[in-house]
Structure 1
Protein backbone atom coordinates (compact mmCIF):
# COMPACT_ATOMS: atom_id res chain seq x y z
CA UNK A 1 0.00 0.00 0.00
CA UNK A 2 1.37 3.40 -1.06
CA UNK A 3 1.90 5.80 1.78
CA UNK A 4 1.57 9.55 1.78
CA UNK A 5 5.37 9.73 1.69
CA UNK A 6 5.47 7.63 -1.51
CA UNK A 7 2.94 9.87 -3.22
CA UNK A 8 4.85 12.97 -2.21
CA UNK A 9 8.07 11.41 -3.51
CA UNK A 10 6.48 10.60 -6.87
CA UNK A 11 5.13 14.13 -7.21
CA UNK A 12 8.54 15.55 -6.42
CA UNK A 13 10.15 13.28 -9.02
CA UNK A 14 7.58 14.29 -11.65
CA UNK A 15 8.23 17.96 -10.89
CA UNK A 16 11.97 17.47 -11.29
CA UNK A 17 11.40 15.60 -14.59
CA UNK A 18 9.19 18.39 -15.97
CA UNK A 19 11.72 21.00 -14.90
CA UNK A 20 14.43 19.03 -16.65
CA UNK A 21 12.45 18.87 -19.88
CA UNK A 22 11.73 22.59 -19.71
CA UNK A 23 15.42 23.27 -19.12
CA UNK A 24 16.41 21.08 -22.10
CA UNK A 25 13.81 22.80 -24.29
CA UNK A 26 15.21 26.22 -23.37
CA UNK A 27 18.73 25.00 -24.06
CA UNK A 28 17.64 23.56 -27.41
CA UNK A 29 15.97 26.81 -28.47
CA UNK A 30 19.00 28.76 -27.33
CA UNK A 31 21.26 26.46 -29.37
CA UNK A 32 19.14 26.96 -32.49
CA UNK A 33 19.25 30.71 -32.05
CA UNK A 34 23.02 30.81 -31.64
CA UNK A 35 24.78 32.47 -34.54
CA UNK A 36 21.60 33.70 -36.25
CA UNK A 37 22.01 37.16 -37.77
CA UNK A 38 19.25 39.36 -39.17
CA UNK A 39 18.58 39.00 -42.91
CA UNK A 40 19.76 42.12 -44.74
CA UNK A 41 16.88 44.26 -46.02
CA UNK A 42 16.03 43.97 -49.72
CA UNK A 43 18.19 40.86 -50.04
CA UNK A 44 16.04 39.47 -52.88
CA UNK A 45 16.20 42.72 -54.85
CA UNK A 46 19.96 42.87 -54.42
CA UNK A 47 20.47 39.28 -55.54
CA UNK A 48 18.28 39.64 -58.62
CA UNK A 49 19.79 43.01 -59.53
CA UNK A 50 23.22 41.41 -59.50
CA UNK A 51 21.92 38.41 -61.47
CA UNK A 52 20.34 40.56 -64.17
CA UNK A 53 23.43 42.73 -64.47
CA UNK A 54 25.69 39.71 -64.85
CA UNK A 55 23.29 38.06 -67.28
CA UNK A 56 22.88 41.20 -69.37
CA UNK A 57 26.63 41.74 -69.51
CA UNK A 58 27.27 38.14 -70.48
CA UNK A 59 24.56 38.09 -73.16
CA UNK A 60 25.73 41.41 -74.63
CA UNK A 61 29.28 40.09 -74.89
CA UNK A 62 27.96 36.96 -76.59
CA UNK A 63 25.98 39.00 -79.13
CA UNK A 64 29.05 41.03 -80.06
CA UNK A 65 31.32 37.98 -80.18
CA UNK A 66 28.99 35.54 -81.98
CA UNK A 67 26.72 37.71 -84.13
CA UNK A 68 27.83 41.33 -84.14
CA UNK A 69 25.70 44.47 -84.04
CA UNK A 70 23.47 45.42 -86.97
CA UNK A 71 25.07 48.12 -89.09
CA UNK A 72 22.04 50.39 -89.18
CA UNK A 73 21.69 50.63 -85.40
CA UNK A 74 22.14 54.46 -85.37
CA UNK A 75 19.15 54.78 -87.73
CA UNK A 76 17.14 52.30 -85.65
CA UNK A 77 17.57 54.41 -82.54
CA UNK A 78 15.43 57.14 -84.12
CA UNK A 79 12.83 54.72 -85.54
CA UNK A 80 9.62 54.46 -83.46
CA UNK A 81 8.94 50.87 -84.55
CA UNK A 82 12.30 49.81 -83.15
CA UNK A 83 11.36 51.10 -79.70
CA UNK A 84 8.02 49.30 -79.91
CA UNK A 85 10.04 46.19 -80.71
CA UNK A 86 12.19 46.81 -77.62
CA UNK A 87 9.15 47.50 -75.43
CA UNK A 88 7.79 43.98 -75.92
CA UNK A 89 10.64 41.98 -74.31
CA UNK A 90 11.24 44.78 -71.83
CA UNK A 91 7.66 44.42 -70.56
CA UNK A 92 8.10 40.66 -70.30
CA UNK A 93 11.35 41.16 -68.38
CA UNK A 94 9.58 43.42 -65.88
CA UNK A 95 6.63 41.07 -65.39
CA UNK A 96 8.72 37.91 -65.18
CA UNK A 97 11.12 39.56 -62.72
CA UNK A 98 8.14 40.38 -60.52
CA UNK A 99 7.02 36.74 -60.71
CA UNK A 100 10.50 35.46 -59.92
CA UNK A 101 10.84 37.68 -56.86
CA UNK A 102 7.46 36.56 -55.54
CA UNK A 103 7.85 32.83 -56.08
CA UNK A 104 11.24 33.03 -54.36
CA UNK A 105 9.48 33.88 -51.08
CA UNK A 106 7.05 31.48 -49.38
CA UNK A 107 3.48 32.73 -49.29
CA UNK A 108 3.94 35.69 -51.63
CA UNK A 109 1.05 36.31 -54.03
CA UNK A 110 2.09 36.43 -57.70
CA UNK A 111 -1.40 36.82 -59.22
CA UNK A 112 -0.95 40.42 -60.37
CA UNK A 113 2.49 39.64 -61.77
CA UNK A 114 1.02 36.85 -63.92
CA UNK A 115 -1.64 39.25 -65.18
CA UNK A 116 1.07 41.80 -65.98
CA UNK A 117 2.91 39.11 -67.97
CA UNK A 118 -0.21 38.24 -69.98
CA UNK A 119 -0.72 41.84 -71.13
CA UNK A 120 2.32 42.27 -73.44
CA UNK A 121 1.91 38.75 -74.80
CA UNK A 122 -1.77 39.31 -75.58
CA UNK A 123 -1.05 42.70 -77.16
CA UNK A 124 1.65 41.42 -79.48
CA UNK A 125 -0.53 38.48 -80.59
CA UNK A 126 -3.56 40.70 -81.21
CA UNK A 127 -1.52 43.21 -83.22
CA UNK A 128 0.15 40.36 -85.12
CA UNK A 129 -3.26 38.94 -86.03
CA UNK A 130 -4.49 42.33 -87.21
CA UNK A 131 -1.38 42.82 -89.36
CA UNK A 132 -1.72 39.36 -90.91
CA UNK A 133 -5.43 39.81 -91.68
CA UNK A 134 -4.85 43.25 -93.19
CA UNK A 135 -1.92 42.13 -95.34
CA UNK A 136 -2.31 40.66 -98.84
CA UNK A 137 -2.53 36.89 -98.79
CA UNK A 138 0.73 36.54 -100.70
CA UNK A 139 2.67 38.40 -97.99
CA UNK A 140 1.24 36.78 -94.86
CA UNK A 141 3.67 33.89 -94.63
CA UNK A 142 6.62 36.21 -95.15
CA UNK A 143 5.40 38.44 -92.32
CA UNK A 144 5.54 35.46 -89.97
CA UNK A 145 8.74 33.83 -91.20
CA UNK A 146 10.81 36.91 -91.95
CA UNK A 147 14.35 36.16 -93.07
CA UNK A 148 15.77 34.56 -89.93
CA UNK A 149 13.09 32.24 -88.58
CA UNK A 150 15.39 29.21 -88.89
CA UNK A 151 17.91 30.58 -86.38
CA UNK A 152 15.99 33.09 -84.26
CA UNK A 153 14.75 30.72 -81.57
CA UNK A 154 18.12 29.00 -81.25
CA UNK A 155 19.96 32.32 -81.01
CA UNK A 156 17.68 33.53 -78.22
CA UNK A 157 18.07 30.26 -76.33
CA UNK A 158 21.87 30.54 -76.56
CA UNK A 159 21.85 34.15 -75.37
CA UNK A 160 19.64 33.24 -72.42
CA UNK A 161 22.32 31.04 -70.83
CA UNK A 162 24.20 33.74 -68.83
CA UNK A 163 21.01 35.14 -67.29
CA UNK A 164 19.62 31.63 -66.74
CA UNK A 165 22.64 30.66 -64.65
CA UNK A 166 22.71 33.96 -62.75
CA UNK A 167 18.98 33.96 -61.92
CA UNK A 168 19.08 30.34 -60.73
CA UNK A 169 22.00 31.31 -58.48
CA UNK A 170 19.95 34.18 -57.07
CA UNK A 171 16.91 31.97 -56.45
CA UNK A 172 18.99 29.21 -54.88
CA UNK A 173 19.93 31.59 -52.06
CA UNK A 174 16.29 32.35 -51.28
CA UNK A 175 13.35 30.09 -50.43
CA UNK A 176 11.24 29.02 -53.44
CA UNK A 177 8.61 26.49 -52.38
CA UNK A 178 7.34 25.65 -55.88
CA UNK A 179 10.51 24.68 -57.77
CA UNK A 180 8.76 23.89 -61.07
CA UNK A 181 7.04 27.28 -61.25
CA UNK A 182 10.10 29.06 -59.87
CA UNK A 183 12.35 27.40 -62.45
CA UNK A 184 9.95 28.22 -65.28
CA UNK A 185 9.77 31.86 -64.17
CA UNK A 186 13.56 32.05 -64.01
CA UNK A 187 13.78 30.59 -67.51
CA UNK A 188 11.21 33.05 -68.83
CA UNK A 189 13.13 35.96 -67.33
CA UNK A 190 16.36 34.78 -68.92
CA UNK A 191 14.63 34.28 -72.28
CA UNK A 192 13.05 37.74 -72.22
CA UNK A 193 16.36 39.39 -71.37
CA UNK A 194 17.99 37.39 -74.18
CA UNK A 195 15.40 38.74 -76.64
CA UNK A 196 16.12 42.25 -75.39
CA UNK A 197 19.83 41.83 -76.08
CA UNK A 198 19.13 40.09 -79.39
CA UNK A 199 17.67 43.38 -80.65
CA UNK A 200 21.24 44.55 -81.21
CA UNK A 201 21.53 41.98 -84.00
CA UNK A 202 18.07 40.98 -85.20
CA UNK A 203 16.83 42.79 -88.32
CA UNK A 204 13.23 41.57 -88.20
CA UNK A 205 10.72 44.42 -87.91
CA UNK A 206 7.31 42.75 -88.25
CA UNK A 207 5.02 42.13 -85.28
CA UNK A 208 3.91 38.66 -86.49
CA UNK A 209 7.54 37.55 -86.47
CA UNK A 210 7.98 38.80 -82.89
CA UNK A 211 4.78 37.13 -81.76
CA UNK A 212 5.92 33.73 -83.01
CA UNK A 213 9.71 33.42 -82.94
CA UNK A 214 10.55 35.75 -80.07
CA UNK A 215 7.94 34.02 -77.94
CA UNK A 216 9.28 30.60 -78.91
CA UNK A 217 12.76 31.82 -78.02
CA UNK A 218 11.50 32.74 -74.54
CA UNK A 219 9.65 29.43 -74.25
CA UNK A 220 12.77 27.28 -74.65
CA UNK A 221 14.53 28.44 -71.43
CA UNK A 222 11.14 28.50 -69.69
CA UNK A 223 10.66 24.77 -70.33
CA UNK A 224 14.28 24.03 -69.41
CA UNK A 225 13.84 26.00 -66.19
CA UNK A 226 10.69 24.07 -65.28
CA UNK A 227 12.53 20.78 -65.80
CA UNK A 228 15.64 21.80 -63.85
CA UNK A 229 13.83 23.69 -61.09
CA UNK A 230 13.08 20.65 -58.88
CA UNK A 231 16.72 19.56 -59.14
CA UNK A 232 18.48 22.90 -58.74
CA UNK A 233 16.17 24.79 -56.39
CA UNK A 234 15.61 22.19 -53.69
CA UNK A 235 16.37 23.36 -50.17
Structure 2
Protein backbone atom coordinates (compact mmCIF):
# COMPACT_ATOMS: atom_id res chain seq x y z
CA UNK A 1 0.00 0.00 0.00
CA UNK A 2 1.34 3.46 -0.93
CA UNK A 3 1.74 6.20 1.64
CA UNK A 4 -1.01 8.33 0.08
CA UNK A 5 -3.43 5.42 0.18
CA UNK A 6 -2.62 4.71 3.82
CA UNK A 7 -3.17 8.36 4.78
CA UNK A 8 -6.50 8.38 2.95
CA UNK A 9 -7.56 5.18 4.64
CA UNK A 10 -6.73 6.54 8.09
CA UNK A 11 -8.46 9.84 7.35
CA UNK A 12 -11.57 7.98 6.25
CA UNK A 13 -11.71 6.28 9.62
CA UNK A 14 -11.73 2.79 8.18
CA UNK A 15 -9.04 1.59 10.56
CA UNK A 16 -10.58 1.20 14.00
CA UNK A 17 -9.12 -0.07 17.22
CA UNK A 18 -11.22 -2.97 18.54
CA UNK A 19 -13.12 -1.99 21.67
CA UNK A 20 -11.74 -4.88 23.66
CA UNK A 21 -8.12 -4.29 22.72
CA UNK A 22 -7.40 -1.72 25.44
CA UNK A 23 -8.91 -3.60 28.40
CA UNK A 24 -7.33 -6.80 27.12
CA UNK A 25 -3.94 -5.09 26.92
CA UNK A 26 -4.26 -3.77 30.47
CA UNK A 27 -5.49 -7.13 31.77
CA UNK A 28 -2.60 -8.94 30.10
CA UNK A 29 -0.07 -6.48 31.51
CA UNK A 30 -1.57 -6.75 34.99
CA UNK A 31 -1.56 -10.55 34.93
CA UNK A 32 2.05 -10.69 33.72
CA UNK A 33 3.25 -8.12 36.25
CA UNK A 34 1.35 -9.74 39.10
CA UNK A 35 2.75 -13.18 38.34
CA UNK A 36 6.26 -11.73 38.23
CA UNK A 37 5.68 -9.91 41.53
CA UNK A 38 4.39 -13.05 43.23
CA UNK A 39 7.32 -15.08 41.91
CA UNK A 40 9.70 -12.42 43.21
CA UNK A 41 8.05 -12.48 46.63
CA UNK A 42 8.14 -16.27 46.81
CA UNK A 43 11.76 -16.41 45.66
CA UNK A 44 13.11 -13.69 47.94
CA UNK A 45 10.79 -13.69 50.94
CA UNK A 46 8.31 -16.55 51.03
CA UNK A 47 4.83 -16.64 52.52
CA UNK A 48 4.65 -16.29 56.30
CA UNK A 49 4.46 -19.73 57.90
CA UNK A 50 1.58 -18.82 60.21
CA UNK A 51 -0.65 -17.38 57.49
CA UNK A 52 -3.76 -19.43 58.48
CA UNK A 53 -3.46 -18.17 62.05
CA UNK A 54 -2.71 -14.60 60.92
CA UNK A 55 -5.84 -14.63 58.78
CA UNK A 56 -7.86 -14.93 61.99
CA UNK A 57 -6.62 -11.50 63.12
CA UNK A 58 -8.83 -8.59 61.93
CA UNK A 59 -5.73 -6.48 61.27
CA UNK A 60 -4.67 -8.93 58.59
CA UNK A 61 -7.84 -8.06 56.70
CA UNK A 62 -7.27 -4.39 57.36
CA UNK A 63 -4.02 -4.74 55.41
CA UNK A 64 -5.80 -6.62 52.63
CA UNK A 65 -8.68 -4.15 52.53
CA UNK A 66 -6.37 -1.13 52.52
CA UNK A 67 -4.38 -2.48 49.60
CA UNK A 68 -7.54 -3.58 47.82
CA UNK A 69 -9.16 -0.14 47.96
CA UNK A 70 -5.99 1.49 46.69
CA UNK A 71 -5.88 -1.07 43.86
CA UNK A 72 -9.38 -0.04 42.81
CA UNK A 73 -8.41 3.64 42.89
CA UNK A 74 -5.23 2.99 40.92
CA UNK A 75 -7.03 0.87 38.34
CA UNK A 76 -9.76 3.46 37.78
CA UNK A 77 -7.20 6.24 37.44
CA UNK A 78 -5.02 4.16 35.12
CA UNK A 79 -7.96 3.25 32.91
CA UNK A 80 -9.18 6.83 32.61
CA UNK A 81 -5.82 8.57 32.26
CA UNK A 82 -4.60 5.96 29.80
CA UNK A 83 -7.06 7.18 27.18
CA UNK A 84 -6.68 10.55 25.43
CA UNK A 85 -9.20 13.23 26.28
CA UNK A 86 -10.65 11.44 29.31
CA UNK A 87 -10.70 13.42 32.56
CA UNK A 88 -9.75 11.83 35.83
CA UNK A 89 -13.05 12.70 37.48
CA UNK A 90 -13.78 12.73 41.19
CA UNK A 91 -14.05 9.02 41.94
CA UNK A 92 -10.37 7.94 41.87
CA UNK A 93 -9.16 10.69 44.26
CA UNK A 94 -11.99 9.96 46.68
CA UNK A 95 -11.31 6.23 46.64
CA UNK A 96 -7.63 6.93 47.29
CA UNK A 97 -8.20 9.38 50.14
CA UNK A 98 -10.86 7.35 51.94
CA UNK A 99 -8.81 4.22 52.79
CA UNK A 100 -5.81 6.36 53.77
CA UNK A 101 -7.95 8.54 56.04
CA UNK A 102 -9.64 5.57 57.67
CA UNK A 103 -6.33 3.84 58.27
CA UNK A 104 -4.79 6.99 59.75
CA UNK A 105 -7.75 7.35 62.10
CA UNK A 106 -7.33 3.74 63.18
CA UNK A 107 -3.60 4.30 63.68
CA UNK A 108 -4.18 7.44 65.75
CA UNK A 109 -6.70 5.60 67.92
CA UNK A 110 -4.19 2.80 68.49
CA UNK A 111 -1.38 5.22 69.34
CA UNK A 112 -3.56 7.23 71.70
CA UNK A 113 -4.21 4.13 73.80
CA UNK A 114 -0.56 3.09 73.98
CA UNK A 115 2.25 4.19 76.29
CA UNK A 116 5.17 6.17 74.81
CA UNK A 117 7.39 3.10 74.64
CA UNK A 118 4.63 1.07 73.01
CA UNK A 119 4.08 3.76 70.40
CA UNK A 120 7.59 3.29 69.06
CA UNK A 121 6.97 -0.44 68.71
CA UNK A 122 3.62 0.13 67.02
CA UNK A 123 5.21 2.47 64.48
CA UNK A 124 8.43 0.61 63.77
CA UNK A 125 7.54 -3.03 64.38
CA UNK A 126 10.40 -5.35 63.48
CA UNK A 127 10.68 -4.70 59.74
CA UNK A 128 10.40 -0.92 59.32
CA UNK A 129 13.80 -0.67 57.65
CA UNK A 130 12.86 -3.01 54.79
CA UNK A 131 9.07 -2.84 54.41
CA UNK A 132 8.71 0.13 52.06
CA UNK A 133 11.73 -0.92 50.01
CA UNK A 134 10.38 -4.45 49.55
CA UNK A 135 6.96 -3.20 48.48
CA UNK A 136 8.64 -0.93 45.93
CA UNK A 137 10.79 -3.83 44.73
CA UNK A 138 7.75 -6.07 44.26
CA UNK A 139 6.06 -3.22 42.40
CA UNK A 140 8.85 -2.99 39.80
CA UNK A 141 7.56 -5.66 37.38
CA UNK A 142 4.01 -4.39 37.83
CA UNK A 143 5.03 -0.82 37.05
CA UNK A 144 6.94 -1.91 33.96
CA UNK A 145 4.01 -3.93 32.61
CA UNK A 146 1.44 -1.25 33.43
CA UNK A 147 3.46 1.47 31.73
CA UNK A 148 3.77 -0.81 28.70
CA UNK A 149 -0.01 -1.17 28.63
CA UNK A 150 -0.58 2.57 29.02
CA UNK A 151 1.87 3.39 26.24
CA UNK A 152 -0.43 1.52 23.86
CA UNK A 153 -3.48 3.41 25.18
CA UNK A 154 -2.17 6.82 24.01
CA UNK A 155 -2.39 8.89 27.24
CA UNK A 156 -2.07 12.67 27.04
CA UNK A 157 -1.60 13.68 30.70
CA UNK A 158 1.67 11.84 30.99
CA UNK A 159 2.78 12.70 34.52
CA UNK A 160 -0.62 11.88 36.03
CA UNK A 161 -0.87 8.75 33.91
CA UNK A 162 2.52 7.58 35.14
CA UNK A 163 1.55 8.32 38.75
CA UNK A 164 -1.67 6.33 38.39
CA UNK A 165 0.31 3.39 36.98
CA UNK A 166 2.62 3.65 39.99
CA UNK A 167 -0.30 3.78 42.43
CA UNK A 168 -1.88 0.72 40.83
CA UNK A 169 1.42 -1.15 40.81
CA UNK A 170 2.39 -0.19 44.34
CA UNK A 171 -1.01 -1.17 45.72
CA UNK A 172 -0.89 -4.57 44.05
CA UNK A 173 2.64 -5.04 45.38
CA UNK A 174 1.44 -4.14 48.90
CA UNK A 175 -1.21 -6.85 48.59
CA UNK A 176 1.42 -9.38 47.50
CA UNK A 177 3.79 -8.31 50.28
CA UNK A 178 1.08 -8.68 52.92
CA UNK A 179 1.25 -12.45 52.43
CA UNK A 180 4.79 -12.31 53.79
CA UNK A 181 4.71 -9.36 56.19
CA UNK A 182 4.51 -10.25 59.90
CA UNK A 183 3.44 -6.76 61.00
CA UNK A 184 -0.15 -6.41 62.18
CA UNK A 185 -0.52 -2.94 63.70
CA UNK A 186 -2.42 -0.03 62.16
CA UNK A 187 0.33 2.58 62.80
CA UNK A 188 2.91 0.44 61.02
CA UNK A 189 0.66 -0.16 58.02
CA UNK A 190 -0.39 3.50 57.89
CA UNK A 191 3.23 4.62 57.73
CA UNK A 192 5.35 2.02 55.96
CA UNK A 193 2.82 0.45 53.60
CA UNK A 194 1.77 3.89 52.45
CA UNK A 195 5.41 4.85 51.91
CA UNK A 196 5.93 1.62 49.96
CA UNK A 197 3.04 2.56 47.66
CA UNK A 198 4.24 6.17 47.40
CA UNK A 199 7.64 5.15 46.00
CA UNK A 200 6.38 3.55 42.75
CA UNK A 201 3.71 6.28 42.49
CA UNK A 202 6.44 8.94 42.53
CA UNK A 203 8.62 6.91 40.18
CA UNK A 204 5.69 6.47 37.80
CA UNK A 205 5.08 10.23 37.78
CA UNK A 206 8.75 10.75 36.86
CA UNK A 207 8.76 8.05 34.19
CA UNK A 208 5.43 9.02 32.63
CA UNK A 209 6.65 11.96 30.51
CA UNK A 210 9.70 9.93 29.47
CA UNK A 211 8.04 6.65 28.52
CA UNK A 212 4.43 7.41 27.65
CA UNK A 213 4.88 10.08 25.00
CA UNK A 214 3.69 9.17 21.49
Q: TM-score, normalised by structure 1?
A: 0.84
The structure with more radius of gyration: 1
Which one of 135, 141, 161 corresponds to residue 140 of structure 2? 161
1:50 and 2:28 are equivalent in the alignment? yes
Deviation per residue, 1:1-34 (Å, 9 max, x gap): xxxxxxxxxxxxxxxxxxxxxxxxxx89735347
Q: Distance in 2 between matches of 1:193 and 1:220?
A: 13
Q: Distance in 2 between matches of 1:28 and 1:84?
A: 54
Which one of 85, 92, 102 corresponds to residue 107 of structure 1? 85
Query: Which residues in structure 2 correspond to 1:86-97 (within 5 Å)?
Result: 86-97=64-75
**Could you tell me how far 1:62 is from its partner in structure 2?**
0.5
1:127 and 2:127 are equivalent in the alignment? no
Q: Structure 2: which 5+ residue stretches go unaligned? A: none
Q: Distance in 2 between matches of 1:174 and 1:84?
A: 33
Deviation per residue, 1:140-194 (Å, 9 max, x gap): 1110101000011111111001100110010000121111111111111111111
Q: TM-score, normalised by structure 2?
A: 0.92
Which one of 212, 226, 232 corresponds to residue 205 of structure 2? 226
Q: Structure 1: which 5+ residue stretches go unaligned? A: 1-26
Greater relative contact order structure (CA < 8 Å, 6+ sep): 2
1:72 and 2:64 are equivalent in the alignment? no
**Could you tell me how far 1:77 is from its partner in structure 2?**
2.9
Q: Distance in 1 between matches of 2:102 and 2:87?
A: 24
Q: Distance in 2 between matches of 1:204 and 1:77?
A: 12
Which one of 187, 212, 215 corresponds to residue 166 of structure 2? 187
Provide the aligned length of Structure 1 versus Structure 2: 210
**Counterpart position of 1:174:** 153
Q: Could you list the runs of 4 or more consecutive aligned residues of structure 1 that deviate by over 4 angstroms after TM superposition?
A: none
Which one of 34, 44, 61 corresponds to residue 39 of structure 2? 61
Of 104-113 and 191-200, deviating more is: 104-113
